[in-house]
């Protein structure tokens, strides 16, 4: 399987995040992608290539021009204040406030974010831009006839909406790739999000559309981030009604319950008759992940890949979460190897 990877991800390294009442080093760190890349090479999964640059046009198909302009220019504006720490929001347009776009940097940062988990550093824009190009390059390989490809993206993307960053995410790599498939002639794309956290950004982007089916298996948002989206009764709206399926599970869920939800999601994808499957590949469902309450073990990821392969569709894997650094490479590559074994 072809892997697309950019070393630009090292340009983004947030100093800290607020977790459980403490400022601590960010769980989303460069070593995540490094461990996955190392495992790809150890297992000789296939060639590893750098991304092509498709420019901003395919990114603008998903993200608003105003949001992109803000994100690209935010760090320079921050340094004009003589600051060199991470740029983080501290005020958001909550329910009792007006949804106006202020002129100040911090006002706009609050407007364009939904949490304090997406620090902007000197290299964040370039890292996120390159991650989108990684996804687009892997997408292009499948569009040209490859059976599968792996976009080793960092930072991840599935929490990012069209004009909103958060949850370690800035540009929605999976959504950008899905839209590129449609723009290049595919009629139906199914997104399968297997990350421990609900892909709220991806859901919101396609919620009123029928050309993208969104399915997500995650811990129940009553008790887990992102809290305010990912419930089972969210089925889409307008033209998108009936094309959104969430499978929220209880804390402590292991492979038995998780795989049953995967079976339901795959049934919906098969009924939808998608031309392409895009997998938001988060492996933070692992039993020892520091910010997960699921109990999947490494062999389970081989089974996950085999079930996805049985869908029989060209499949793009886009890296999302996974924070138990030593195991993230094993588990991510297990999904890919399980898929490869099943299609041979």
Instruction: Give how far the C-alpha of residue 334 lies from the chain's centroid of Cα atoms, to the nearest Å.
Output: 18
For residue 78 the two structure tokens come to: 């921050």
Contacts of 297 (CB under 8 A, 6+ apart): 255, 286, 287
Q: Which of 35, 159, 198, 220 is catalytic?
A: 159
Q: How confident is the model at residue 258 (pLDDT cuts 50, 70, 90)?
A: very high
**H/E stretch holding 137:** helix 124-143
Report CA torsion sign: 299, 301, 305, 311. positive
258-267 long-range Cβ contacts below 8 angstroms, 24+ apart: 258/217, 258/285, 258/294, 258/296, 258/300, 259/300, 259/303, 259/304, 259/307, 261/217, 262/194, 262/217, 262/304, 262/307, 263/307, 265/192, 265/215, 265/216, 265/217, 266/192, 266/307, 266/308, 266/310, 266/311
Mean of pLDDT values over 115-136 = 97
Which of 154, 89, 83 has the alpha carbon at shortest distance from 122?
83
pLDDT digits (tens, 9 = 90+) for 129-185: 999 999 999 999 999 999 999 999 999 999 999 999 999 999 999 999 999 999 999
Average pLDDT over residues 74-102: 94
Distance between alpha carbon 171 and the CA centroid of its chain, in Å?
A: 9
Kindly report, residue by residue over 260-308, the tens digit of the pLDDT. 999 999 999 999 999 999 999 999 999 999 999 999 999 999 999 999 9
Mean pLDDT of 239-259: 98
Which residues, in sequence order, are bridge partners of residue 148?
Answer: 315
**pLDDT of 187-222, one tens digit each?**
999 999 999 999 999 999 999 999 999 999 999 999
- Specify whether the CB–CB gap between 181 and 189 falls below 8 A: yes
What is the model's pLDDT at position 310? 98
Looking at residues 69-88, what average pLDDT do you find? 95
| Alpha-carbon separation of residue 178 from 56, 91, 211 (angstroms) | 15, 32, 10
Do residues 55 and 31 touch, judged by C-beta distance below 8 A?
no
Q: In the chain, where are the structural domains located?
A: 2-343
Residue 18 reports pLDDT greater than 90: no
Residues 6+ apart with CB under 8 A from 330: 39, 298, 301
Within 13 Å of residue 239, how many CA atoms lie on the same side as its CB? 6
CATH of domain 2-343: 3.40.800.20
Q: Is 159 one of the catalytic residues?
A: yes
Q: What confidence score (pLDDT) does residue 22 get?
A: 81
Q: What integer pLDDT is reported at residue 255 of this predicted model? A: 98
Q: How confident is the model at residue 325 (pLDDT cuts 50, 70, 90)?
A: confident
Q: Is the pTM of this model over 0.95?
A: yes
Q: How far apart are CA 96 and CA 74, in angstroms?
A: 26
24 falls in which pLDDT band (50, 70, 90)?
confident
pLDDT beyond 90 at 102: yes
Q: What is the pLDDT of residues 40-72, one digit of tens each?
A: 999 999 999 999 999 999 999 999 999 999 999
Confidence class for position 23, pLDDT limits 50, 70, 90: confident
Q: Give the model's pLDDT for residue 326.
A: 82
pLDDT per residue as tens digits for the range 224-244: 999 999 999 999 999 999 999
| pLDDT for res 344 | 78
Cα separation, 105 vs 6, in Å, equals: 29
| pLDDT reported for residue 176 | 99
């Amino acid at each position: 399987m072809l892997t697309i990877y950019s070393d630009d991800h090292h340009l983004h390294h947030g100093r800290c995040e607020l977790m459980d009442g403490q400022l601590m080093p960010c769980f989303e760190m460069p070593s995540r992608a490094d461990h996955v890349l190392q495992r790809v090479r150890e297992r000789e999964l296939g060639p590893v290539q750098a991304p092509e640059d498709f420019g901003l046009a395919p990114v603008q198909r998903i993200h608003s021009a105003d949001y992109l302009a803000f994100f690209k220019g935010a760090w320079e504006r921050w340094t004009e204040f003589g600051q060199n720490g991470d740029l983080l929001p501290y005020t958001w347009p909550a329910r009792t406030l007006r949804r106006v776009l202020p002129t100040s940097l911090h006002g706009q940062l609050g407007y364009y974010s939904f949490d304090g988990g997406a620090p902007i550093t000197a290299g964040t824009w370039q890292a996120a831009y390159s991650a989108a190009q990684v996804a687009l390059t892997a997408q292009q390989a499948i569009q040209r006839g490859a059976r599968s490809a792996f976009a080793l993206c960092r930072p991840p993307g599935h929490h990012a909406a069209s004009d909103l960053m958060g949850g370690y995410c800035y540009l929605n790599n999976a959504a950008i790739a899905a839209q590129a498939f449609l723009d290049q002639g595919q009629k139906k794309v199914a997104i399968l999000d297997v990350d421990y956290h609900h892909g709220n950004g991806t859901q919101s982007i396609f919620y009123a559309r029928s050309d993208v089916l969104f399915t997500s298996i995650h811990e129940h948002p009553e008790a887990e981030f992102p809290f305010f989206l990912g419930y089972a009764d969210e089925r889409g709206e307008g033209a998108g009604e009936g094309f959104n399926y969430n499978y929220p599970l209880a804390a402590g869920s292991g492979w038995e319950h998780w795989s049953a939800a995967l079976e339901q999601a795959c049934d919906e994808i098969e009924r939808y008759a998608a031309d392409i499957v895009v997998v938001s590949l988060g492996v933070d469902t692992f039993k020892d992940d520091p910010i997960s309450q699921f109990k999947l073990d490494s062999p389970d990821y081989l089974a996950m890949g085999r079930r996805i392969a049985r869908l029989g569709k060209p499949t793009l894997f886009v890296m999302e979460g996974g924070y138990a650094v030593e195991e993230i490479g094993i588990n991510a590559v297990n999904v890919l190897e399980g898929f490869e074994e099943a299609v041979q």
